[in-house]
Amino acid sequence: MALTDKELKKMVKGYMEENSPELADEEPVISEESYEIPEGVARKLGVSLPKSAKTVKVLTYKKMVTAEDGAKLPIVTRVTVDEDGNIIKTTGN
């Protein structure tokens, strides 16, 4: 069952509050990515092609902070979520 963007934001917000509280109040930018195995690669590996491409949503949280010397530094965290609402991976600085 696909989650709506509102449900997705609410679910990931709880995760962000635990792991990156400084970004939890930021509004994420949601993008959708599709992953599929090229036919030639699947043939070489001897695996059958899935019926449809795997679709994931990526929520990107960004915030600018000021360092002690006055330099502006971006803090970015990306949370990748599958179609079922499971967090696959997170990356950030």
Residues of the chain where predicted confidence (pLDDT) is lower than 50: none
Answer yes or no: are the C-beta atoms of 83 and 55 closer than 8 Å: yes
The per-residue pLDDT for 1 is: 57
Predicted TM-score (pTM) of the model is: 0.79
d(CA 91, CA 14) in angstroms, rounded, equals: 16
Please report which residue ranges of the chain form alpha helices under DSSP H. Answer: 5-19, 39-45
- Count the neighbouring beta carbons within 10 Å of the beta carbon of residue 3: 16
The per-residue pLDDT for 41 is: 84
The per-residue pLDDT for 43 is: 84
d(CA 46, CA 25) in angstroms, rounded, equals: 46
